[in-house]
Amino acid sequence: MKLTILGSSSALPTSERYPTAHVLEVHERLFLIDCGEGTQMQIRKNRIRLGKINHIFISHLHGDHVFGLYGLLSTFSLMGRNTPVNLYAPIGYDTILRSHLNDFDIHLDYEIRFTPLSGKDPVKILDNKFITVQSFPLKHRVSSFGFLFREKPGERNMIKDRISEYKIPVARIPAIKKGENFVLENGTIIKNEEITTAPPAPLSYAYCSDTGYFSRLSEFVKGVDLLYHEATFDSSLEKLAAKTGHSTTLDAARTARDAGAKALIIGHFSSRYKNISFLVEEARSIFPVTVPAIDGSSYVVGKILQP
């Protein structure tokens, strides 16, 4: 898994930070998470292939998370796209989207497959060969959702020397990779562990923006390898954060700590902050493995790279 930050600002973009958008790459498949204004410009700057984006997740219906979607969908059509786009967004957004497309005479040459988000508990919204994705409710001024991406366990790896040693037929290898033992012609059972090695541990990434602090959130993302959590304000603005349905640096750090996350990225910074280094230091006072979201930077899940 590799995460690329396209935008790390909150409501107002700055000269250095675009509104929120992330791209998560899993097994060469791209997942776009939120789509603030300027997202497609950032996609091009970061040499991300537009045609490989087949799934788009919208956390909530505030402009800094969705204004870039209309232009992106139009661009897809102008480029000749004919494969479906899977769109996950709060319930009712499909009506808003189609109204916009009609108002601006935009005719898409591909299908939008809409999955509505709702409810007060985690819900599995995507399940394919490589990953599952759950949506879960956040605490904001409008209906808002986070997303948890979990890689599925890979198949076991064959030990090449054992293939020749035990004369394992090629036709038996797929079943052995799935965990079966191998039986010799004389009936001797060769344990799977003797002829294979375990695959790498599956990875996970959770996205939480926008939200105020609530204790149940840490349960939704328990044990995640990499947690992205908004930290719009520093700790001195705790009351403003509560009023606007956002989090402080310490709120994000507490959630990461209580979830047992391996690493934390904070972002969605208020435009009032020109220098975000002290925001990172505040979060590190509770959760040391914290790095800032920096536009254009990529982070390997399971191995945080300092930007």
CA–CA separation, 189 and 176 (whole Å): 12
Sign of the torsion formed by the C-alpha atoms of 272, 56, 215 and 221: negative
CA–CA separation, 205 and 68 (whole Å): 23
DSSP string, 148-201: EEEEPPPPPEE-HHHHHHTT--GGGHHHHHTT--EE-TTS-EE-HHHHEEPPPP
- 3-state helix vs strand vs coil in the chain, percent to 5: 30, 30, 45
Q: At what angle do helices 277-284 and 249-259 cross, to 10 degrees?
A: 40
The neighbour count for residue 93, using CB atoms within 10 Å, is 20
The neighbour count for residue 115, using CB atoms within 10 Å, is 17
Out of 64, 225, 251, 295, which one is annotated catalytic? 64
Known active-site residue 64: yes
| CB 136, CB 144: distance < 8 Å | no
CA–CA separation, 185 and 251 (whole Å): 61
Q: Looking up tokens 């399940």, which residue turns up?
A: 127
| CB 36, CB 71: distance < 8 Å | no
Catalytic positions are 64
